[in-house]
Structure 1
Amino acid sequence: MTTDWDVVGYVISSDHRTAVMGRLAEGPATPTQIADSVDLSVTHVSRALRSLRKRSLVDLLVPEERRKGRIYGITSEGREVWELIDAKGLAE
């Protein structure tokens, strides 16, 4: 992978996006599970998930129509970006 520093910069410019990416790197989760794990409100988590989905870093793993029990996971591109962020110590 060619390092896309613009995407890395986008993720780390928000503590919320960084926290959500870090949690999803551990495994799929619902917004409530993510919020509980990283001590954020569900509103902040949902906003971060929306912006990360637009960048194809996370994906909804259940049908779009589902309103409850929406499970999100990190994409392969998201995993590569997260591994770089983690390896360089940029998730401070």
Structure 2
Amino acid sequence: MEGDVKTPTAIAKDAGIRPNHISKVLRELKDANVAECLDESVRKGRLYRLTALGDEIAKEL
């Protein structure tokens, strides 16, 4: 949950989403303030985590 930092590849695997679709999904989650990228300047191996809002949503699911 919040604080659980993962790469897009790990997120795709955990969520059952094909890795080639994860960029779009992550962009939408960032726009909705559900997920955040810890360092946008990194091109490969970016790390993402849920925001407080994302953590609340995940608990409800």
Q: Which TM-score band (shorter chain)?
A: 0.7 to 0.9
Question: Which residue among 48, 52, 56 is the counterpart of 1:76?
Answer: 52
- Residue segments in structure 2 that go unaligned for 5+ positions in a row: none
TM-score (norm 1): 0.57
Structure 1 residue 81: Cα displacement: 1.7
Paired amino acid for 1:50: R
Task: Work out the CA distance in 2 between the residues paired with 1:82 and 1:38.
Answer: 12
Confirm or deny that 1:46 pairs with 2:41.
no
Secondary structure in structure 2 of the residue aligned to 1:59: strand
Give the structure with higher Rg (CA): 1
TM-score (norm 2): 0.81
Structure 1 residue 56: Cα displacement: 0.5
Counterpart of 1:12 in structure 2 is none
Q: Deviations over 1:21-72 (max 9, x none)?
A: xxxx38211011112233321122111110000010000012x121011000
What is the aligned length? 60
Higher RCO structure (Cα 8 Å, ≥6 apart): 2
